[in-house]
């Protein structure tokens, strides 16, 4: 997984926005009509100083809509809660998993049945590096 700081190169201001939702069925009569622009920083980022983009490697999170090569917007200031998709460091290894806080302890859950969940042993070195807030999925 690559980790990099979020810069204006990632999300440039001034991208054109259509004023209507585009149907996935029949063509819209408002084709080619655009109204203004949107700054993706405003929509995807709460705190620029603590936000990074990480590229995902592997397919353990496909059930969450996160595929190999996708990029996650990760906020290091956001508090992780049960159910958050997190970038975790477990015993020195980076991983993207869903955080589960159970009565039996912490579980880093895969979202692909081909991968086992990781029950974090009590004496393990676990650090939540950040909480994923958005997945940039490439088509």
Q: Residue 134: which H helix or E strand, with range?
A: strand 126-136
d(CA 124, CA 126): 6
d(CA 7, CA 106): 33
Task: Write 11-19 long-range contacts (CB < 8 A, 24+).
Answer: 11/39, 11/40, 11/41, 11/44, 11/45, 12/40, 13/37, 13/39, 13/40, 13/41, 14/39, 15/39, 15/40
d(CA 139, CA 134): 15
**Residues with catalytic annotation?**
60, 97
């Amino acid at each position: 997984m690559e980790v990099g700081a979020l810069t204006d190169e990632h999300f440039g201001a001034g991208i054109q926005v259509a004023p209507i939702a585009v149907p996935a069925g029949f063509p819209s009569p408002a084709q080619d009509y655009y109204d203004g622009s949107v700054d993706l920083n405003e929509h995807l980022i709460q705190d620029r100083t603590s936000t990074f983009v990480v590229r995902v490697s592997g397919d353990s999170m496909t059930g969450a809509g996160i595929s190999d090569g996708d990029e996650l917007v990760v906020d290091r200031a956001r508090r992780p809660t049960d159910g958050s998709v997190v970038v975790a460091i477990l015993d020195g290894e980076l991983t993207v998993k869903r955080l589960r806080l159970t009565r039996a302890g912490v579980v880093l859950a895969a979202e692909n049945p081909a991968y086992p969940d990781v029950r974090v042993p009590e004496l393990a070195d676990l650090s939540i590096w950040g909480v994923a807030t958005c997945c940039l999925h490439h088509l």
